[in-house]
Amino acid sequence: MERKKNLRKAIVVLVTCLILTLAFSVPTSAREIVELERACTLDLMYKYEETFFDGEEIKIYKVADFTLVGEYVLSDMFDEYPINIGDIKTQDEWNAVRDTIVAYIAADSLVPTTTATTNADGVASFENLSVGLYLVGGIVTDYIDDGTIEFADFLISVPGIDEADKWVYDVDATPKSVYHEPVYEEIEYSVIKLWKDSGNEDKRPNAVEIEIFKDGELIENVKLSSENNWKHSWIGLDDGSVWTVVERNVPEGYTLTLEKKDAAFVVTNTFIPIEPPTGDSFNAQPYIIAICVSGVLLIVVGIIRHKKESESV
């Protein structure tokens, strides 16, 4: 009778151990775990109205890797840049991340992760892609008369998510397209520096260095400071050229976002304080498992010892 009682105790401890382990290890989201080693595909269709664009080279850049629960971690290509992709909640924030990445790609002539050429149906197919977040580079292609069709840069998750909140490892997308006809008029462009560092203003540098690029070529290097109200303007011609800016030597402790609003580039530095570890980050799971296993072992040892003592009587 005593042996059965002890055995029941062991079973209770084991079940408790399993319940506690699951409570600490199962993600709170209902979404399934990402298959990190699974090969993915990405098909992009380049179409404007009834026209399909054949023979266009499409470049993609792997921006971030996935964790098991679908969170993003900057890839090797971008982990040295002051970009923050954590805790993004709005489309505007994602657009700013996209514009920032596009600027660094142009400024540093980054080599794409891979390329593909559109076929007669306007489709560029990428196969055997590793799981991650990708930046699809925009293109500008000739259209009717002097007009052009601009396909925008955009970020895309591979795999994607379907309506049932399941991961989809074969992804299809149609890049946004816009018709543009240059008017060859002068446009005033500007770059504006903003700071998000309330209470930490003393950590700002006296000035920041901004590089201005036209079609990937460095045109001007300027400094923004309180002396020029953290703003600089220049004149460009509306001839289809692509302008962008990047900030060099981002101050320590700050991240960078770039937003393009019509002819204005808004460069924002956000201070990210380094918070000391708190009790919230304590991982109790290994200790719970260790305690449970130790308890089970003690009970098993007790049962064996009691059995031996009974047999010797």
φ, ψ of residue 206 to 5 degrees: the values are: -70, -25
| Per-run averaged pLDDT (10 residues), the chain, 313 residues | 54 45 38 88 96 96 89 94 89 93 94 98 97 96 88 95 92 94 92 95 94 94 96 93 93 93 94 66 46 51 55 52
Cis-peptide into 175, omega within 30 deg: no
What does the alpha-carbon distance between residue 217 and residue 211 come to, in Å, rounded to a whole number?
A: 10
The CATH class of the 186-271 domain is: mainly beta
φ, ψ of residue 285 to 5 degrees: the values are: -55, -50
230: which strand partners? none
Strands 72-74 and 207-214: unpaired
What does the alpha-carbon distance between residue 127 and residue 192 come to, in Å, rounded to a whole number?
A: 40
Q: Domain extents for the chain?
A: 2-26+276-312, 46-180, 186-271
Distances (CA, A) of 83 to 33, 49, 101, 181, 237: 26, 36, 8, 34, 31
What does the alpha-carbon distance between residue 62 and residue 76 come to, in Å, rounded to a whole number?
A: 9
What does the alpha-carbon distance between residue 67 and residue 106 come to, in Å, rounded to a whole number?
A: 28
> Both tokens of residue 296?
């089970």
* Per-residue confidence (pLDDT) for residue 181, from 0 to 100: 87
Topology of the domain covering 46-180: Immunoglobulin-like (2.60.40)
Do 46-180 and 186-271 fold alike per CATH? yes
Q: What value does the CA radius of gyration of the chain take, rounded to a whole number of Å? A: 28
* Per-residue confidence (pLDDT) for residue 182, from 0 to 100: 84
What does the alpha-carbon distance between residue 179 and residue 152 come to, in Å, rounded to a whole number?
A: 11
Q: Which residues make Cβ contacts (< 8 Å) with residue 283, sequence separation at least 6?
A: 24
Length of the chain equals 313
